Amino acid sequence: MNTGSFGSKNLSELKNYTWAGVVSFLNEQCMSSEMEKTQWLVEKKQYTERISQLEGELQASEAVNKDLVRRVKMLEFSLRQERIKYAKLTGGHHRVNSDVISTILSRGEKNSDSIGQILPKRRTRAHRQLLSKYLQELGLEDIFTGDLPPRQIHHRPSKSYGSNLQALIELPSENDTTPLPKSETVKINIIEDKSVKKSWELKIALKSHMDVVRSLHFAQKEGILATASEDCLIKLWDISHYETFNENSQCEPYFSLRGHKKPVLTMTGNIIGEEQLLYSAGEEGIIRVWELAQPNEVNAYGPAPEKGYCVGIWSSHSEAIWDLKHHPVDGLVLSSSADGIVKLWKTVDTTTSIDNWKSGKSSANLLKNFTYPTSDGENFHIPTCTAWLVTELNSFVVGYTTPYLNIFDKQTGKPSIIRFVKESDAHDRIYQINCIATSNNSNLAVCGHEDKHLRFFDLNSCSCVKDLVGHTDSVSSLWMSGNHIVSGGHDGSLRFWDVRTYQCLQEIPAHRKKYDEGVLCLSQHPSFSLMASAGADSLVKLYHII
What digits encode the pLDDT tens for the residues 514-526? 888 999 999 988 8
Q: How far apart, in whole angstroms, are the C-alpha atoms of residue 511 and residue 518?
A: 6
pLDDT value of position 448: 93
Mean pLDDT of 75-80: 84
Domain-embedded: residue 17: no
Short-list 280, 289, 272, CA closest to 331: 272
Is residue 349's pLDDT more than 90? no
Residues 209 and 274 in one domain: yes
Domain count of the fold of the chain: 2
At 284, the amino acid letter reads E
In this prediction, residue 347 has a pLDDT band, given cuts at 50, 70 and 90, of confident
pLDDT value of position 123: 46
DSSP state of 539: E
User: Which residues lie closer than 8 Å to 479 by C-beta, 6 or more apart?
Assistant: 437, 485, 486, 522, 523, 524, 531
User: Which residues lie closer than 8 Å to 428 by C-beta, 6 or more apart?
Assistant: none
Is residue 234's pLDDT more than 90? yes
Chain centre distance of CA 213: 20
Domain-embedded: residue 33: no
Residues 187 and 210 in one domain: no
In this prediction, residue 172 has a pLDDT band, given cuts at 50, 70 and 90, of very low
In this prediction, residue 275 has a pLDDT band, given cuts at 50, 70 and 90, of low
In this prediction, residue 286 has a pLDDT band, given cuts at 50, 70 and 90, of very high
Is residue 423's pLDDT more than 80? no
Is residue 126's pLDDT more than 60? no
Residues 366 and 420 in one domain: yes
Domain-embedded: residue 513: yes
Domain-embedded: residue 21: no
Residues 307 and 417 in one domain: yes
Mean pLDDT of 419-423: 76
Mean pLDDT of 390-415: 89
pLDDT value of position 541: 92
Long-range contacts of the stretch 247-252 (C-beta < 8 A, 24+): 247/202, 247/203, 247/204, 247/205, 249/204, 251/204, 251/206, 252/208, 252/300
Q: How far apart, in whole angstroms, are the C-alpha atoms of residue 9 and residue 2?
A: 11
Q: How far apart, in whole angstroms, are the C-alpha atoms of residue 33 and residue 529?
A: 32
Short-list 249, 250, 219, 212, CA closest to 236: 219
Q: How far apart, in whole angstroms, are the C-alpha atoms of residue 423 and residue 372?
A: 17
Residues 439 and 479 in one domain: yes
Residues 212 and 346 in one domain: yes
Three-class SS state of 28: helix
pLDDT value of position 226: 93
| Of 64 and 2, more confident | 64
Is residue 204's pLDDT more than 50? yes
Is residue 165's pLDDT more than 80? no
pLDDT value of position 193: 35
Residues 213 and 186 in one domain: no
| Minimum mean pLDDT range among 9-13, 135-139, 149-153, 239-243 | 149-153
Q: How far apart, in whole angstroms, are the C-alpha atoms of residue 209 and residue 304?
A: 18
In the predicted model, what is the mean pLDDT of the chain? 77
Residues 283 and 150 in one domain: no
Residues 212 and 131 in one domain: no
Domain-embedded: residue 3: no
User: Which residues lie closer than 8 Å to 477 by C-beta, 6 or more apart?
Assistant: 434, 435, 448, 487, 488, 519, 520, 521, 522, 533
pLDDT value of position 101: 47
Domain-embedded: residue 208: yes
Domain-embedded: residue 10: no
Residues 283 and 345 in one domain: yes
At 290, the amino acid letter reads W
Domain that holds residue 510: 200-545
Residues 266 and 379 in one domain: yes
Distances (CA, A) of 420 to 60, 455, 501: 36, 9, 21
Residues 312 and 449 in one domain: yes
Domain-embedded: residue 111: yes
Which of the listed residues 160, 191, 222 is the one where a domain comes to its end? 191
pLDDT tens track for 308-334:
788 888 888 889 999 999 988 888 999
Q: How far apart, in whole angstroms, are the C-alpha atoms of residue 478 and residue 523?
A: 9
**CATH number for the domain that contains residue 337:** 2.130.10.10
